[in-house]
Each structure stands twice: as structure tokens, then as C-alpha cells.
Amino acid sequence: MENYFTENFEVQAKNSSEDALQRWRKLCWLVKNRKRRFRFTANLSKRFEAEAIRRSNQEKLRVAVLVSKAALQFIQGLSLSSDYIVPQEVKQAGFQICAEELGSIVEGHDVKKLKIHDGVEGIAEKLCTTITKGISTSEIDRRKQVYGVNKFTETPPKGFWFFVWEAVQDTTLMILGFCAFVSLLVGIVMEGWPKGAHDGLGIVASILLVVFVTATSDYRQSLQFRDLDKEKKKIVVQVTRNGLRQKLSIYDLLPGDIVHLSIGDQVPADGLFMSGYSLLINESSLTGESEPVNVNASNPFLLSGTKVQNGSCKMLVTTVGMRTQWGKLMATLSEGGDDETPLQVKLNGVATVIGKIGLFFAVVTFAVLVQGLFTRKLEEGTQWIWSGDEAMEMLEFFAIAVTIVVVAVPEGLPLAVTLSLAFAMKKMMNDKALVRHLAACETMGSATTICSDKTGTLTTNHMTVVKTCICGEIKEVNGSEKFGSSIPESVRKLLLESIFNNTGGDVVVNEAKKVEILGTPTETALLELGLLLGGDFQEERGKSKIVKVEPFNSTKKRMGVVLELPEGGFRAHCKGASEIALAACDKFLNSNGDVVPLDEASTKLLQDTIENFASEALRTLCLAYSDIGSGFSESVDIPFQGYTCIAIVGIKDPVRPGVKESVAVCRSAGIVVRMVTGDNLTTAKAIARECGILTDDGLAIEGPEFREKSDEELQQLIPKLQVMARSSPMDKHTLVKTLRTTFQEVVAVTGDGTNDAPALHEADIGLAMGIAGTEVAKESADVIILDDNFSTIVTVGKWGRSVYVNIQKFVQFQLTVNVVALVVNFTSACLTGNAPLTAVQLLWVNMIMDTLGALALATEPPTDDLMKRAPVGRKGNFISNVMWRNIMGQSLYQFVVIWYLQTQGKEAFRLDGPDSDLILNTLIFNSFVFCQVICDYKTLNFFNRKTGNHEVVKD
């Protein structure tokens, strides 16, 4: 049995194979309501469609690139003329190019047309925009009219009646509806109105009730999912409009907008490259092609939905919304739905198996009942004469058989999973965690280890430079003006040149005329230092020309620029992780500001400074420069040796309040927390100690050392590993993978950067930061932590556990009811020839179980006790032995009660007279319902008992 389930009803929490997704679907043929059952599973045919779109995109793009290459050679030096006529309405709106033309240029990579329109600048002009000012907000409406908006068509939200319609399409309800019809007909003919209609109307009433309760619950769920979906799609980009750099939702983008893209961003619309450096674009989300492409002035085409893998740029938006290929893809994909979760599938399996057993019993019950009737009639010799009453009796038998199937197919099981997950999702949203994939809620409950990022998750991500070492002198930065006064003027100049040119950030004046610093927290801290030193960003930028930029990335851990100096010659500036940048230095500036060779003593001094800063939990950065003569060409890499160290800075990033407590909660919950960071080992250790992650017997290691370890060594090392510093993206990935495969751990990973994407993808649960996180990280994640706070991760864990336990509760409850209903009806049908619980009664119970019972049990909020047990882990058995025992015990007890009532009831309660059967059955029904209520209550209690929990979860 166990094997049957693992073979057929097992899918991964994420990245399941197509095969596995298909397999269980095929086996689930005994379904009461297909539409409902499969509503929250992946729509495989839609996905197939999306895949086809991707493939055709890839083909189209390949052709376009080839054609454009050929054309590029052909048109060089040629003056081209075109027969393009600007449509009248476009002209009237004040623009010189229409949406179709723009679309065909970018999507078709059409260099010829691009040249006809005088290149990117020409198109910008025709779109009435400039790179410095962008579009002006006053004419937004006109733009919208001519070019459309950046939104995808979505399937319209489903109304209440849609769900009513879906609820009606339930096989068993339909059969019962038919029974009701016949019953009404026969009843009225036989006994007349209204007496003969009682039974029929009873059935009709309960059908209506079932339909409406189901539809209401489904409808509310759909509203919840719709809200979450909206939240998921909120993406903000940096745009220049009205001459101001500002944040804007991607839905508000219009052709003509200037968008600033940097590493980790998603290209929000089709457009053209205006300026930028080392731009590498990954088009796999659009085309499935994994090889990234270089985008630059000669290949300026940027397609919506692709990702910036490296570098940065300014882009001119040309085509938006459904005119882009991405728009078409998204419209299809949004109907593809989310992958089903492992529990959903598992319970679908349970439902199918029990349903089959139920079907068998139903057939037997029906046969036994019919046989009883026939025997009676044979004895009476009236087998050829059928009265209306007897026909009704047959009908009633049939209804009972059908109802046994209705009750036996525990359709509520898989649906309760969705209900419970949806409930948890909504509550988590209030607690600042946005769940992107349903399965994550489930998996999080069994997490055994968390690999946490340092920056931004454990710390506040609000960075300030608090210490510097300039000209061999250590200084504290405390915001006072005189900080810079003792620095020699030549050094101050170099420092400002470095800070303001060698940066990915920007200093802008915002709408309120206030100075605003943009960029990553590290960059911001440095720019702030520059302003404190009395520098002016724009002025400094104007002094020299930037000829090359190598933007920061986590693999190199440094950033470099080359400047063309006003007095001639080139100068390279480098800033980066202090040990790494310092290793490229062979000179430094002494206390007079003179360049002197770096001897052993001064190297030691600088290294000690770095150590000192780091041991105070500061992030250290080294700034250096190098004059590289006059022969620098843009096409070569920036040299990385012979630098002169200008300064070492120590940046403070305080630990978030509450992190220590949260780490302690994790510890008591049996979840191991590890820190993986790109920062320096000493810094990492200091912070880890402060958070309570690093203990005395724990191990801290650097990425480069970790990489060298053999598999056996890793086996020894990983259980003790608490901190990994200076990690590369791949180190993180390796750690997660080893934990998952070798150690069978259920791993949660947090991350914010593009560098974290591989690990987030590999993890059982990927958690991305909502504020600091890049689009790429968010896309690879299963949950987005909206407030970037580690404590929220603990909340997610708590909800995950609560979901797990709630579903267990519901399963136990429903299985008990199933077994009892089945056994009671079957045995009494066999032994007495009639069923104590009628179809209508069973339907009632079923409705209460499926909807109200599920609501009550599946939506229990979590208790703090949940975090005091050991995690379930990968091997946890969902329906534990204790649960089986409970199910059996409960069923037996209920069966005995009902059986007693049925056989001895009349005597015990002194029932006689014509109505005794009716009264007895009512009595039986009521005790049955009461038993369920008690069972329901007991289940709750049982799971909430503090000590009992351990066994339940572990067994």
C-alpha cells in the first residue's frame, strides 16, 4: 500500500516532473466533481501552450538575430529611405512613430528600420522623450491612448454564480437530483400534494444547501487567491520622468519612459538600450534559451520578461503590454495555475483508494438490499406485481448506494488541504509573508534547517560608514563636519573621485527638492560619506569622463571604473571586499598623502585594521586607484594589479531587533540556523555570535576553503557548520544541495541577490526578501518576506506546522466519519435489510464534514507550542500510526453505539407504535451526528494537547 502511494501519488514540493504530474491525474478517475477537485492544480495543457509560445519565440528570435546581423553588414554606409507613413492619429497626438512600427523594430531586431528612424536617439525623439528628462507626466493620457498600457489581459474574475454552477456539476448531486425528481413524481401521484412531496423536497433542500455552502466557500477562497495574486505581481522599477528619477510600478510604464536597470532586474517592457555597461541579458524565461546575450549600442534590443544577469543600463521603453511576446506568454501562463502540493496529491490518493472501497461496498449494499426485497416478494409470490411503494423502495435503495459512494469518496480531503493552505496564506500575508507557491506553506512546516543570508535578513540593511582608515590613520565618522578636515587635500580629492565615480548609486534631488541617495545600502553608505566630506555628486561626475564600468557582482566582490582624466590619461578605480582589493595594491598613501610602496609593516597595519573593523561586526571595503597611462581601450578588462590603497572603510549594519529571540525559537523548535554570507569571516562571526547563531562548538568557514573540501570531509564538517563567509553563489548552492541529498534535511534558504537565485531554486523552501530582494531572487523564491525580517521566517515556519497539523486533524476526523458511515450502512443493510441512515441524512453529514468540518478544523490558528516540538523532516509519515489507531478506535466506538441503538434501541427507549421506526432512525441519525461533533472536538483536543503532539507528528 505504502509503495502504491509513493509510486503513484507522490510529487515534489517544487520542480516536479511532468510525468509525476500526469500520473496521479490519470489514477484519479473516481471523482465526484472534476472541476472542483482539480481547480487548484496545474493546468497542464495551458503550460504546454506556453511552452510552445516559448519555442516559437526562440525560433523567431534566432531568425531575427541572423537577419539583423546580415542586414547590419549590408546597410553599413548606405543611406536608407523609407516609405513609413506616420498614421494620422499618432501625428495628432504629437508623436512621429506608431506602436506597430516600434513593435516590429524591437521584436524583429530590425536594424534596418532602426537606422531608418535614426537609431535609438531618433526613436526617442519621435517618442518625445530624452534620456535625461524622460517623458512628462502632463501628456500621459495621450500616450496611453496611442500606445496602450503595460498590462496583460487576464481571465476575468469569476463571480459567485460561476461557483454555484461548478458545485452543481457533481455526479452524486446530479444522481440525487434525479432521485428527488422521481420521488416527487411518484410521491405526489401516490399520496398527493403536499404529503407525498415531503421526501423529495427534503432531498432538494439538502442539495440546494450543499450547493450554496460549497459555492460560498469556493467563492471566498477565489477572492483570497485573487488578492494574493495581485500582491505577487507588484513590481517596481526606477524610471526617469519629468527629469526626476523615481520609483514606478511596471504597470504604469509607457513607451518613451527611461528605465534604469541593474543586475537582478527583470526587463519590464520591450525597449532599446540607450547607455550602460557590461549588460548581459538572460532570455531563458522568454525563449527557454539559457545562453545569456550581450546587449549594447550595436545590439540594443531588450525584450520584456528577460533578466539582467550582469551590468546596468538605461533603457528606452518602446512597446508595452499585450503587444510584447512576454504579454502573450503571461496571459497564457496566468491560466496555467500553480503546481499541486505533495499533500494534495497524497490525499487525492487516499480519497481515490477509499472511494474505490466505497464503490465496492455500495454495490454490495445495493445488491443485498435488492436481494432482500426480492426474497420477500418471492415468498409472497408477488414478484410480477410491483406497487408504487415498492418502486419507491427500490429507488431508496439506489439512493442509499449512491450516498454511500458520496460519503465514502472523501473529496473533502484534498479540498481541505487547499482550504487550509489558502487560510494560512492569507494569514501569513498579514504577517508580512507572501506565499508564491502553495506548496511552500506545507513544506515550511517540516523544515529542519534554515540557511540565512546575513545582510538585510539578520541585519537591518541600513548601512553607515562609522570608521575609516585614511593615510594610515583610523578615524571614527560621527557625522560632524570636521571629520574631513585633517585629510590632505590631494587625498580628499582622490577619495571623492573614487566614491562618486566608482558607484552604482546616484544622488538625485527629488520632487520635494530634497537630496536623495539611491543605490544598494553599501553604495548609499559610501555616497553619504562622500557628501559628508563636502563632495558634490554632479560636479564630481562632470570633472572626468567614465570610459568603462565593471559593475559589482558577488562572484568578484568588487567594482571598477576607468576614468579619462581632464589632464589626460586614464585612471582606474577599484572598490571591493577589503582583503580582495587590498591584495591588488602595492602602494598606499602615507600620512602626508604621498604615494609610497606598501611594505610589510604597512601591509600588516592595514590588515590589522581590517581585522579590527571586522571584529566589531563592521563590513569592510577597500578603495584603491591606479593610473594606467594613456593607452586604455574600452574593449579590454580593467587591470587588477598595481593599485594604490586610498582608504579602508568600516560600515556598520546593526543586527535587527528580535533576531536573537527568533533564532532561539528556531533552536527550541529543532531547526538549525546557519548563516551564509558574502562578507568577511570575522565580520560574519561577530554578527553570528550576536544573533546566537554561532555557538562555542560551532564551525565557521570561508567559501574558498569550503570549495576545496572532499565529499567525506564535507560529511564531517557540515553538521557543525554554522557560518560560511565570503561565499560565492555556487558555495551556497553546494551547501544546500548537500544538506538536502546527503543529510536528508528539509532546507529553507533566504536570499536577496541575484547571487542567491541558484540556492533559492535548489532549496525546499526559498525565501526572498521583499524590500532588498531583486526580481530574480523573488522569481526563484517560494515565499517573499515582505519586511525582510528574520522573525517573519519563524512565523512562516509556525504557520507551516499549523497547516500540517490541521490537515492531519481533518484527515483523522473525516476518515473516522467515512469508516463509520460505511460500516453502519453496510452491516445493517446486510443484516436487517434496511439502512438506518437515509440518503438525505448521509448527504447532510457529508456536507457538514466537507465544508463546515473542514472550515473548523483546517483553519485553527497556530499556537506557540507548535514551535516547541521537533520538526517532521523528510521522512515524517503523514497519517501516523497513532492517527490510524484513533481512527479505528473512534470508528469502533461509534459503530457500537449506533449498532446498539439499532438493535436494542426500541426496547431501551420503549418505542412502539406505528412511528417507532421513524423515531428510532431519527435517534440514530442524531447520535451519529453527535458522535461526529464529539469526534471533531476530541480531534482538536487531541492535537492541541501539549505532550501528545510529539507522538502524532513523529510516528
Residues acting as catalytic residues: 453
Based on CB atoms, which residue is closest to ligand ATP, 259 or 623?
A: 623
Strand order in the sheet with 672-676: 433-435, 783-785, 765-769, 747-751, 449-452, 672-676, 721-725, 699-702
Based on CB atoms, which residue is closest to ligand ATP, 241 or 557?
A: 557
Give least dist CB 458 to ligand ATP, A: 8
Task: Centre a 10 Å sphere on the Cβ of residue 430 and count the other Cβ atoms it contains.
Answer: 8
Based on CB atoms, which residue is closest to Ca ion, 321 or 758?
A: 758
CA 416/CA 422 separation, integer angstroms: 10
Task: Centre a 10 Å sphere on the Cβ of residue 704 and count the other Cβ atoms it contains.
Answer: 12
Let me know: does 811 contact 347? Beta carbons within 8 Å. yes
Give least dist CB 477 to ligand ATP, A: 17
Per-residue x/- marks for Ca ion, 433-472, CB under 5 A? --------------------x-x-----------------
Q: Which 3 state secondary structure label does DSSP give 530? A: helix
222 binds, among ligand ATP, Ca ion, none (CB under 5 to 8 A by kind): none
CA 621/CA 496 separation, integer angstroms: 15
Q: Tell me the residue nearest to ligand ATP as measured from the CB.
A: 678
Based on CB atoms, which residue is closest to ligand ATP, 373 or 730?
A: 730
Give least dist CB 664 to Ca ion, A: 23
Give least dist CB 254 to ligand ATP, A: 31
Contacting residue, 196, 200, 311, 753, with Ca ion by CB under 5 A = 753
557 binds, among ligand ATP, Ca ion, none (CB under 5 to 8 A by kind): ligand ATP
Q: Which of 534, 536, 504, 500 is nearest to 520 (CA)?
A: 504
Q: Which 3 state secondary structure label does DSSP give 232? A: helix
Give least dist CB 551 to ligand ATP, A: 8
Based on CB atoms, which residue is closest to Ca ion, 241 or 619?
A: 619
232: left (phi over 0), alpha (psi -120 to 50) or beta: alpha
552 binds, among Ca ion, ligand ATP, none (CB under 5 to 8 A by kind): ligand ATP
Task: Centre a 10 Å sphere on the Cβ of residue 756 and count the other Cβ atoms it contains.
Answer: 32
Which one of the spans 244-252, 386-394, 613-621, 745-753 is the region binding Ca ion (CB under 5 A)?
A: 745-753
Report the largest interatomic distance among the alpha carbons of the chain, rounded to a whole angstrom: 124
Give least dist CB 455 to Ca ion, A: 5
109 binds, among ligand ATP, Ca ion, none (CB under 5 to 8 A by kind): none
**Partners of 767 in the β-ladder:** 750, 783
Give the 3-state DSSP-derived string for 892-937, with helices as H, strands as E and coil as C.
Answer: HHHHHHHHHHHHHHHHHCCCCCCCHHHHHHHHHHHHHHHHHHHHHH
679 binds, among Ca ion, ligand ATP, none (CB under 5 to 8 A by kind): ligand ATP
Give least dist CB 438 to ligand ATP, A: 27
CA 23/CA 37 separation, integer angstroms: 16
DSSP string covering 552-618:
EETTTTEEEEEEE-TTSSEEEEEEEEHHHHHHTEEEEE-TTS-EEE--HHHHHHHHHHHHHHHHTT-
User: Do β-strands 258-262 and 293-294 pair in parallel, antiparallel, or remain unpaired?
Assistant: unpaired
9 binds, among ligand ATP, Ca ion, none (CB under 5 to 8 A by kind): none
621 binds, among ligand ATP, Ca ion, none (CB under 5 to 8 A by kind): ligand ATP
Give least dist CB 466 to ligand ATP, A: 15
Based on CB atoms, which residue is closest to Ca ion, 406 or 701?
A: 701
**Partners of 575 in the β-ladder:** 559, 623
Task: Centre a 10 Å sphere on the Cβ of residue 106 and count the other Cβ atoms it contains.
Answer: 27
User: Does residue 194 have a cis bond before it (omega within 30 degrees)?
Assistant: yes
**Grid coordinates representing 589?**
598613501
166 binds, among Ca ion, ligand ATP, none (CB under 5 to 8 A by kind): none
The dihedral sign for the CA sequence 425, 431, 434, 437: negative
Based on CB atoms, which residue is closest to ligand ATP, 115 or 307?
A: 307
113 binds, among Ca ion, ligand ATP, none (CB under 5 to 8 A by kind): none
Q: Which residues bind ligand ATP (CB under 6 A)?
A: 453-456, 504, 520, 522-523, 552, 554, 557-559, 575-577, 619, 621, 677-680, 753, 755
**Grid coordinates representing 894?**
461509534
Give me the residue label for grid cell 465514502: 408
DSSP state of 264: T
791 binds, among ligand ATP, Ca ion, none (CB under 5 to 8 A by kind): none
Give least dist CB 505 to ligand ATP, A: 8
Tell me which H or E stretch contains 214. Answer: helix 198-232
Based on CB atoms, which residue is closest to Ca ion, 752 or 788?
A: 752
Based on CB atoms, which residue is closest to Ca ion, 551 or 836?
A: 551
Based on CB atoms, which residue is closest to ligand ATP, 496 or 621?
A: 621
Contacting residue, 166, 339, 497, 752, with Ca ion by CB under 5 A = 752
Based on CB atoms, which residue is closest to ligand ATP, 14 or 557?
A: 557
Give least dist CB 753 to Ca ion, A: 4
Let me know: does 181 contact 200? Beta carbons within 8 Å. yes
559 binds, among ligand ATP, Ca ion, none (CB under 5 to 8 A by kind): ligand ATP
Give least dist CB 519 to ligand ATP, A: 8
CA 584/CA 812 separation, integer angstroms: 65
Q: Which of 9, 21, 11 is nearest to 47 (CA)?
A: 21
39 binds, among ligand ATP, Ca ion, none (CB under 5 to 8 A by kind): none
Q: How buried is 944 (Cβ within 10 angstroms: 0-12 exposed, 13-18 middle, 19+ buried)?
A: middle
Which one of the spans 164-172, 545-553, 746-754, 835-843 is the region binding Ca ion (CB under 5 A)?
A: 746-754
Per-residue x/- marks for Ca ion, 369-388, CB under 5 A? --------------------
590: left (phi over 0), alpha (psi -120 to 50) or beta: beta
DSSP string covering 382-407:
-TT---HHHHHHHHHHHHHHHHHHHH
**Grid coordinates representing 479?**
557625522
**Partners of 135 in the β-ladder:** 241
**Residue 400 Cα distances to 139, 370, 421, 926, angstroms:** 69, 11, 33, 18
CA 139/CA 147 separation, integer angstroms: 12
Q: Which of 442, 437, 289, 453 is nearest to 779 (CA)?
A: 437
Based on CB atoms, which residue is closest to Ca ion, 264 or 410?
A: 264
Give least dist CB 577 to ligand ATP, A: 4
CA 847/CA 213 separation, integer angstroms: 8
Positions in the binding site for Ca ion (CB under 5 A) = 453, 455, 752-753
